[in-house]
Amino acid sequence: MTTPIPYIFDIAFHDCFWHGLIASPLKRLGLVAYCLHLSPIQTAMVTSVRDISSSYKVSRASHPNEHAAAYRDWIDHRLYQLSPKFSFDAVLLDHQVRDEISVNKETITTPSIEQMGRVPEDKVLIALIRSTSGVIMNGRQVNGDMIYLASGRSVQCITKSSVQSDFLTLDRRFFVERLPLANLPISGSNGFELVVKPATGLTTAYHRKVGRHFDLLDGDPLFSEIDHSTESLLTCVGEMLGGGTSDNDTCPNASTRAYIVRRSSELFVANCHDQEFGVLDLCSHLKISRRTLQYSFEQVMGISPMQYMRIVRLNVARRALTESAAGAQIQGAAFDAGFGHIGRFSKYYSDFFGELPSATLQSGRA
């Protein structure tokens, strides 16, 4: 007699009793023995429910472009290393729980990083970002006791020390239906960006729950355990948003100088291939003085606009060299990044990254 399908799913989803009484190897043995009595279609249904390996990925990157490519949902995601002679090191834990939910934990040990990208209109980013020097998100100073939300918006994140991020990405429809949004200024399908300060202790609880979620994944979890962990995370997010205060009330708004830096970054990244594009072009586009641009970069980033432009060009060239195909030339990568003199480019490159462009090119082909 064939076992009914609902009973199969009852075993797959509601095995907490087994979890409390029997060690994991015995659970698996019992499930295999059980599956011997099922049809091939039923067996596939049970095992596929319990297999999470394809939805959980750990990515370690030694180059900013590798780390940027590991992000699942961002559009045009880019990372630029702003401090010289630091080796880049980043780890991203990525769990696609269901189609509408992904959980991520990111650690970047390299100081002074700029991240730029866009959150799609049909997604919502909910991020807790911790760094000893604080984090600037689109001009806002965001501390470890604040939650950053964005949907349908470009994001610029500047960090000056190592950073750890715990974030969820939700389908926007699921976000609206599942979480309490009554006290947040979110309406319709328009893009939004908010900084929310939850009640005391909730961000710490959220950080711990994300850590436990991935500790669970690194073990031998049952589906029901993953489902319970995900629901616990969503409940915690609901508590943070439902009882928190939005940036319209108490959190700092983007300053004029931070806005200038953000717009300058966007303009320059779009034109960095142009050797003639420089500081005066930024001033002309933004209708500000050169002194205002200088002060803005020094206050927000700690470097001058000239230094920033050179660093971005070096990062663009490094990306081209690490991703190059056989036959690629250093000169081509330098010119495409806006450097007109190959000798000066090589010196700037080795001073910043601690190796010659030829070494990067060679390692990219290895």
| Distance (Å, whole) CA 288 – CA 261 | 12
In a domain, 251, yes or no: no
Boundary of a domain, candidates 246, 268, 301: 246
| Distance (Å, whole) CA 89 – CA 108 | 6
Q: CA 109, 110, 111, 112: dihedral to nearest 10 degrees?
A: -130
| Distance (Å, whole) CA 49 – CA 181 | 32
What sections of 51-152 are H helices per DSSP?
Answer: 64-70
CATH number at residue 297: 1.10.10.60
Q: Say how far residue 66 (Cα) sits from the centre of its chain.
A: 12
CA-based max dimension of the chain: 83
Residues 122 and 199 in one domain: yes
Q: Band of the pLDDT at 288, cuts 50, 70, 90?
A: very high
Residues 113 and 227 in one domain: yes
Residues 44 and 62 in one domain: no
Place of tokens 């073990």: 219
Provide the sign of the torsion angle of the four alpha carbons 37, 40, 42, 47, taken in this order. Answer: positive
Residues 148 and 238 in one domain: yes
What pLDDT sits at residue 296? 92
Could you give the number of structural domains in the chain? 3
What pLDDT sits at residue 328? 65
Residues 178 and 97 in one domain: yes
Q: Domain residues for 344?
A: 256-365
| Distance (Å, whole) CA 105 – CA 60 | 12
In a domain, 232, yes or no: yes
In a domain, 162, yes or no: yes
Residues 271 and 213 in one domain: no
What pLDDT sits at residue 306? 96
Per-residue pLDDT tens digits for 21-74 = 334 444 444 444 434 444 443 433 333 344 555 599 999 998 898 999 999 889
What pLDDT sits at residue 49? 40
Residues 182 and 236 in one domain: yes
Residues 109 and 234 in one domain: yes
Residues 87 and 189 in one domain: yes
- Phi-psi bin for 43: left (phi > 0), alpha (psi -120 to 50), beta? alpha
Over the chain, what is the mean pLDDT?
82
Q: Band of the pLDDT at 148, cuts 50, 70, 90?
A: very high
Boundary of a domain, candidates 19, 34, 50: 50
Q: Among 53-67, 129-143, 308-322, which range has the highest average pLDDT?
A: 308-322
Q: Band of the pLDDT at 162, cuts 50, 70, 90?
A: very high
Residues 103 and 156 in one domain: yes
Contact between residue 148 and residue 184 where contact means Cβ atoms under 8 Å apart:
no
The pLDDT of 79-107, averaged and rounded, is: 93
In a domain, 12, yes or no: yes
Q: Band of the pLDDT at 243, cuts 50, 70, 90?
A: confident
Q: Quickly count: other Cβ atoms within 10 Å of residue 240's Cβ.
A: 23
The pLDDT of 142-171, averaged and rounded, is: 92
Q: Which SS3 state, helix, strand or coil, does residue 104 take?
A: strand
Boundary of a domain, candidates 223, 246, 269: 246
In a domain, 262, yes or no: yes
pLDDT at 4 over 90: no
What pLDDT sits at residue 144? 85
